[in-house]
Amino acid sequence: MARMRTDMTLIAFLQAQNCSNFPGSWRHPEAIPDFLTADHYVRIARTLEEGKFHLAFFDDRLAMPDIYGDDHRPAVQYGIRSVKMDLIPLLTAMGMATRFLGLGGTYSTTYYEPFHVARTFATLDLMLGGRAAWNVVTSLNDSEALNMGRAAHPAHDLRYDRADEFVECVLGHWNSWEDDALVVDRRVGGVFAHPDRVHRLDYKGKYFSSRGPFTVPRSAQGHPVVIQAGQSGRGKQFAARWGEVIFASYKSLENAKKQYAELKSAIAAAGRDPAAVRIAPPIYAIVGETRGIAKEKEAYLASLAQPEDALCLLGEILNFDFSGIPLDEPIGDVALAGISGQQALRDRVIAAAGTPNPTPRDFIELSKRGTIYEMPVFCGTAADVADEMEAWYQGEACDGFVVAATHRPGAYEDFTRYVVPELQRRGVFHKDYAGTTLRENLGLPRPIARGVPRRAL
């Protein structure tokens, strides 16, 4: 008989913008339109901490979804993720209002420098008492490149080659202060920090170099937790090497079981302990007092999506302009090969369409981009939602879930009020935090700083 698992991970999926992951969410009558204020995000943070969520993390892009027709106006007109604020001030505000909730943000390895990212997140980690996480992304499209002073977005595999060096460099800086380096002996002639326990990195790679020494001592959890969400073949390899929390998009329970096992095997093949990595797929949870009420909520939410949402967001994530192709015309081999964004999505659509040349309509209908059906929807009473979550979790399809909001802040409040107590009653989710740091609460080991190798790649 399989051992009952009792340590489900819960993560909230956030956006620093006018809508949640669901672009039509801002149209919901219960969506509170104060998304440009700190109060909005502080309210969410307090709700999530009340629900004992392990982590709230912000996804991010560095551009509006303006690739469709090379025009930003549809995104602005229809509110399709057209507002995108910097994450660090929001995370700081949320962290100051909470004591235990982990807080993560997305920073790109393609458009920042390793030292800058290392210092930003190490500082955030100190200010939050060891509750920070960095979501490592390589970014997606040419719009981001143009905003950051580049002519075009780098090729898919090249981005991950660069990202490997980037993460090596960041971790090198984070590990360059040993845990007992700081002394702060205030006597005259006393030692502030041991010079031989603060190491210069001298990192020299093919794509990045960074000398050091690093300027931020280690936090209570050692350094921020590393989050990753690679989905393609190269992306999975990257996630298996670096991710401590991995977001994995699974469309069904059977698909999740298969891919979860494959990813755990890849982690082991990378020389890491699979048990020390949390894998969590994103879901929407729609809760009602009865199944009928929940289904009514679901139908209403589905009605908020508009056609422009799908086309704008497909262009954004695939780095591909669908505007010049009739909806029912097969997309040629050359054009498909030119999709340089999220290739895992492209490959899923091709497989589901049953043809090597799907149409734009296939991409819309099979990806369900811009709708609540882009990820699994667990809909029903609190017991119904908990049943589905438990089936995935106990069936070894995941280690927990990334809960996305159908509208803000109400979806998080409903989940905390109704679903969390049901999960706790079943003994699969904790009733209180294990400690004060994110690593303690996730059950992840604290990294030990032993100095850094001065190597050239």
Q: What is the CATH number of domain 9-294+376-442?
A: 3.20.20.30
Domain ranges of the chain: 9-294+376-442, 306-369
Contacts 24+ apart (CB under 8 A), 347-351: 347/232, 348/251
Instruction: Give the global pTM.
Output: 0.94
pLDDT at 450: 64
pLDDT at 399: 98
Low-confidence ranges of the chain (pLDDT < 50): 1, 452-457
